[in-house]
Amino acid sequence: MNIAVSQPEAAEDAAPPTREMAIRAEGLGKRYLLEGAKRALLSARVREDEAFWALRGVSFAIEEGERVGIIGRNGAGKSTLLKILSRVVAPSEGRAEIRGRIASLLEVGTGFNPRLSGRDNIYLNAALLGLSRKEVDARLDEIIAFAEIGRFIEEPVKNYSTGMRARLGFAVAAHIDPDVLMLDEVLSVGDAAFQAKCLARVGQLVDAERTLLFVSHSVPAVRRFCDRCIWLDRGEVVMDGPAIAVTEAYEEKLLKVKGVFRAPERERAAAALPAAGQAPAEEEQAARLVSAAVLNAAGEPTNSVRIDEEFSIEVVFDVLAPARRIEPALHFLNERGEIIFVVAFTDASAPAAINEIGRHRAHAQIPANFLNDGVHRVTIVLVTADPLVRHETAEKAIAFSVFERAGSDRVARGRYARRFPGAVRPMLQWTHKRV
Amino acid sequence: MTAMAPDKPLTVIDAAQARRAIFPPDFWRFRELLGQMTRSAFHAKYLHLKSSFLWYYARPLTITLVFVLLRATSNLGEGAPYPLFVLTGICFWFIFADTLSAASTALARDASLIQKIYFPILILPLAQTMARFADVGLALIAIVVLQIALGVGTDIELLVLIPVVVQLMLLAFGLGCGVAALSLSVPDVREAVNVALYLGLFLSPVFYAPDAMPPAARLVLHANPLVGSLEGVRAALFDTAAFPWAAWGYSCAATLAAVLWGLTLLSRASRNAAEFL
């Protein structure tokens, strides 16, 4: 089920004309031995039924400066791929070439010696990542400042809190200045403030024309930092292409996030609508939903929208009975299925709601910087407001995710790097003066 | 397909490579790590207790004392006074045994590292071995003090001490690497090595000189490469015996074989070490 996406989305920053290749993988595969076949370490001949493939036939080419996210469910082979590329494990088949100094951060703070001081551990950790003493000397102050360890730097690491260890570990890794940086869910450690700092640092590193390989479960993080995404499932590449397109497909498959709802038999039935003035049978449904879609700022159907762009929800419905004051209503639900707000039909040009038989199309415009990032679902209701009659309720008919790109200055993020809680994230008009 | 920039290092990962080079091209880049790991191993052994240096002497001194008392019944030593003979034997035997076990458990000790970061794994047993040179220094202090107290002189053969010690450490390192690699797939090997080391204490010239044994036993004993090393250390330190060139030559040959064996096994295991820990 390979879906080829050849044309990357229009890059926001103009790419230099000649990009060098940073990583090239050809048919990478990793076969793990099941318990019982482990004796084979020194012989290497294994029966097929004693092994399983964690990764198979993975090929891609990454150019210098590309920021590539790798997503997939647990056990999809993401970490295996990163371990092969960082040479922790050897592939069972295939080949890869990597150009430039590699730093891989499979876990923050690996290789600390609890008995040594923080300062000594910086040298030890940096040496593990392939840095010379001289190079560490030049960065030492910066690392210590970033880690916020303060006077504890001379204390043995065994006296550190988990958070301090994590900070120190990331501080070293974040200052080794590699050509190719590989991160595996590193941002899942530490408190919110520390994560924010890590994210900010990743942002800085990413600005500096570095190649980034970023393994994550988090679609928002991939959308924020990566311009390309590789989706792995059961050890194979499902899709490889622009980050937005791939993550949309991923969310559609896994979370059933789909911005378009259609009822084809109803679309075809347009000709069979009763003519105006012709009274339908009393018990028949007075209105029915034909289609609904999330439209981006350019008016194209989409599964995801940028947080700093306005978008709209289009509802197409048939009115089958006259003078019923039909109107659409939208229920917005968050990821947990809780209603965050309900929108009533407030079109000034149709003050008496919709009475005419026929096909109608309504748009609800949603402003930029209004919904928070994440997945949202919309239940569409066709209703007569007073007395209240629900003619049709399409539960969670459409869904979309709101995402944010790193580097946008039109977002309501201010100077915070953390994830914003809450359902909405509006940009309000602030004023201030000294009093 | 775009060309690769020529100025940056190229890393090739290929499933067709059956083993990893034991000295990969980037080994030199990791020299800093070797230093840091040695330092870390040294710290772990000596600096975590306030009086680790004194504790180091507890074992050789008590064992020496026991054997000096036993000696009242028979004469097992040769040349040097018996307390000096036993102390030298005990100290250098334990340097050998401790280095071997430290090198052979080096991979398991830092398993979490191997599973997360790439570096030449040879660094781990090598660092453990280098940290044990501190034991040599400590042992020599005790031996020289006793030597002076007993009025035993030294001679020009003292110069051979350094090559003999290096040979002893290399033998322990080579065997340690081999055991470390083997124990990845067969964990029982380490237990067997513990038993062998316990036996070795009595099959090596620690408490007795091989020449004080009956001729038949002497032949068997000389198959042990430690005979040349331990007798060599004594001959180098004291002026009471001639240096056993033939026995030490055999020790050197055995050391070369052990190092080649150990490095071969380690290079074969290093490709997939992360999965077997």
Q: Flag whether pLDDT at A134 surpasses 70.
A: yes
Taking residues A207-221, what's their average pLDDT? 81
Calculate mean pLDDT across residues B72-96.
79
B14 touches chain A (CB under 8 A): yes
8 Å CB contact between A29 and A265: no
Distance from CA of B182 to the nearest CA of A (A): 8
Interface test with A, best of B115, B117, B119 (most A CBs within 10 A): B117
* Whole-angstrom distance, CA of residue B113 vs CA of residue A361: 61
Every domain of chain A and the residues it spans = 3-9+18-255, 260-274+282-403
Find, among A193, A185, A128, A141, the residue nearest to A167 by Cα. Answer: A193
Q: How confident is the model at residue B5 (pLDDT cuts 50, 70, 90)?
A: very low
Is the CB of residue A277 less than 8 Å from the CB of residue A324? Answer: no
On the CB side of A115, CA atoms within 13 Å amount to 12
CA distance A29 to chain B (A): 9
Cα–Cα distance between B145 and B20 in angstroms, integer? 47
Extract the tokens encoding B32.
């800093």
Tokens at B227, concatenated: 């005979």
CB contact under 8 A, B17 and A21: no
The pLDDT value recorded for residue B71 is 67
Would you say residue A280 has pLDDT above 60?
A: no
Question: Interhelix angle for A133-147 vs A118-128, to 10°?
Answer: 120
Q: At what angle do helices B123-131 and B82-104 cross, to 10 degrees?
A: 160
Residue B218 pLDDT > 90 = no
Cβ neighbours around A347 below 10 Å, total? 13
Cβ contacts below 8 Å, chain A against chain B, sum to 144
Q: Six-digit token pair at B173? A: 């390192």
Which amino acid type is present at position A388? Answer: L
Tokens of B271: 């490709």
Contacting B residues, span 92-151, partner chain A, CB-CB under 8 Å: 110, 112-119
User: Is domain A3-9+18-255 in CATH 3.30.460.80, yes or no?
Assistant: no
**A256 exposed, middle or buried (CB, 10 Å; 0-12, 13-18, 19+)?**
exposed
> Least CA distance to A130: which residue of chain B?
B30
pLDDT at A363 over 60: yes
- Could you tell me if B7 lies within 8 Å of chain A, comparing CB atoms? no
Residues of A with Cβ-Cβ distance to B40 under 8 angstroms: 113, 116, 124
**How far A300 CA sits from the closest chain B CA (Å)?**
33
Question: Comparing A270 with B190, which gets the higher pLDDT?
Answer: B190
Is there a contact between B15 and A92 if contact means CB atoms under 8 Å apart? Answer: yes
The distance from CA B165 to its chain's CA centroid, rounded to whole angstroms, is 9
Q: Do B5 and A116 touch (CB under 8 A)?
A: no
Specify whether the CB–CB gap between B95 and B132 falls below 8 A.
yes
B117 touches A105 (CB < 8 A): no
Distance CA A405, CA A206 (A): 13
**Contact (CB<8Å) A41/B276:** yes
Task: Write down the pLDDT at residue B186.
Answer: 83
Angle formed at CA A207 by CA A206 and CA A208, multiple of 5 degrees: 90
Closest CA to A410 of A306, A323, A317, A339: A306
From residue B157, how far is each of B85, B142, B191, B242 by CA, in Å? Answer: 17, 20, 38, 8
Q: What is the mean pLDDT of residues A359-385?
A: 92
pLDDT tier, A356 (very low <50, low <70, confident <90, very high otherwise): confident
Q: Which of A33, A91, A130 sits opposite B30 (nearest CB)?
A: A130
Q: What is the pLDDT of residues B61-70, one digit of tens each?
A: 888 888 777 7
Report how far apart, in Å, the C-alpha atoms of B277 and of each of A42, A52, A71, B170, B187 are.
14, 18, 27, 25, 10
DSSP string for B48-88: SSTTHHHHHHHHHHHHHHHHHHHGGG-----SS-HHHHHHH
Give me the residues of B, 15-74, that contact A with CB < 8 A. Answer: 15-18, 20, 26, 29-30, 32-33, 35-37, 39-40, 43-44, 47-48
Distance CA B174, CA B178 (A): 6
- In chain A, whose CA is at the least distance from the CA of B109? A111
Give the pair of three-digit tokens for residue B214. Answer: 């009956």
Q: For residue B139, what are its two tokens?
A: 């042992």
- Euclidean distance between CA atoms A434 and B16, whole angstroms: 70
Strand-strand pairing, A180-184 and A211-215: parallel
Does the beta carbon of B275 lie under 8 angstroms from any beta carbon of chain A? yes
Q: Which of B119, B185, B265 sits opposite A128 (nearest CB)?
A: B119
Chain A residues with CB under 8 Å of B115 CB are: 88
Nearest CA-CA distance, residue A125 and chain B, Å:
9
- Structure confidence at residue B92 (pLDDT): 95
CB atoms within 10 A of CB B82: 20
How far apart are the CA of B9 and the nearest CA of chain A, in angstroms? 5
CA distance B191 to chain A (A): 17
CA distance A41 to chain B (A): 6
Query: What gap in Å lies between CA B233 and CA B91, rounded to an integer?
Result: 11
- Contact call for residues A101 and A130 (beta carbons, < 8 A): yes
With beta carbons under 8 A apart, name residues in chain A contacting B276: 38, 41
How far lies B20's CA from each of A33, A96, B14, B184, in Å?
19, 15, 10, 16
B41-57: per-residue pLDDT in tens? 888 777 766 677 777 88
Q: B110 to chain A: which residues are within 8 Å by CB?
A: 111
Best mutation target among A24, A33, A41 (most B Cβ atoms within 10 Å) is A41
**Distance between CA B271 and CA B265 in Å, rounded?**
11
Q: Do B1 and A21 touch (CB under 8 A)?
A: yes
**Contact in structure between B23 and B122 (CB atoms under 8 Å):** yes
* Interface check B8 vs A, CB under 8 A: yes
Query: Which amino acid belongs to residue B189?
Result: V
Give the global pTM: 0.76
Kindly identify which residue of chain B lies nearest to residue A81, measuring between CA atoms.
Answer: B13
Domains A3-9+18-255 and A260-274+282-403 share a fold: no
Q: How far apart are CA B230 and CA B101, in angstroms?
A: 18
Nearest to A352 by CA among A385, A321, A381: A385
- Tell me which residue in B33, B47, B272 faces A41 most closely, judged by beta carbons: B272
pLDDT per position as a tens digit, A307-326:
999 999 999 999 988 888 88
**CATH top class, domain A260-274+282-403:** mainly beta
pLDDT in tens, A138-150: 888 888 888 888 8
Is A88 within 8 Å of B35 when comparing Cβ atoms? Answer: no
- pLDDT, mean over chain B: 85
Cβ pair A88:B115 closer than 8 A: yes
| DSSP assigned state of B45 | I
Per the structure block, which two tokens stand in for A170? 């990331």
Kindly report the backbone phi and psi dihedral angles of residue B40, in degrees, each rounded to the nearest multiple of 5, phi listed first: -65, -40
Residue in A with minimal Cα distance to B268: A42
Tell me if chain A has a CB within 8 Å of the CB of B9: yes
Least Cα separation, residue A222 to chain B (angstroms)? 22
How far the first Cα of chain A sits from its last, in Å, is 64
Query: Which one is predicted more confidently, A115 or A327?
Result: A327
Question: With an 8 Å Cβ cutoff, are A41 and B116 in contact?
Answer: no
Average pLDDT (A337-361) is: 85
pLDDT digit string (tens) for B158-211? 999 999 999 999 999 999 999 999 988 888 888 999 999 999 988 888 888 887
Question: Cβ contact (<8 Å) for A97 and B13?
Answer: yes
CA distance B211 to chain A (A): 41
Name chain A contacts of B44, Cβ cutoff 8 Å: 113, 115
Angle at A40 between CA A89 and CA B269, to 5 degrees: 45
Res B8: pLDDT: 77
CB A353 within 8 A of CB A325: yes
CA torsion B145-B146-B147-B149 (nearest 10°) is: 90
State how far residue B233 is from chain A, nearest Cα, in angstroms. Answer: 34
For A53-108, what is each residue's pLDDT tens digit?
889 999 999 998 888 999 988 888 888 898 899 888 888 889 999 988 887 776 66
Cβ atoms within 10 Å, residue B43: 16
Sort out which chain A residues have CB atoms less than 8 A from B181's CB and list them: 42
Q: Which two tokens stand for residue A14?
A: 């103009």
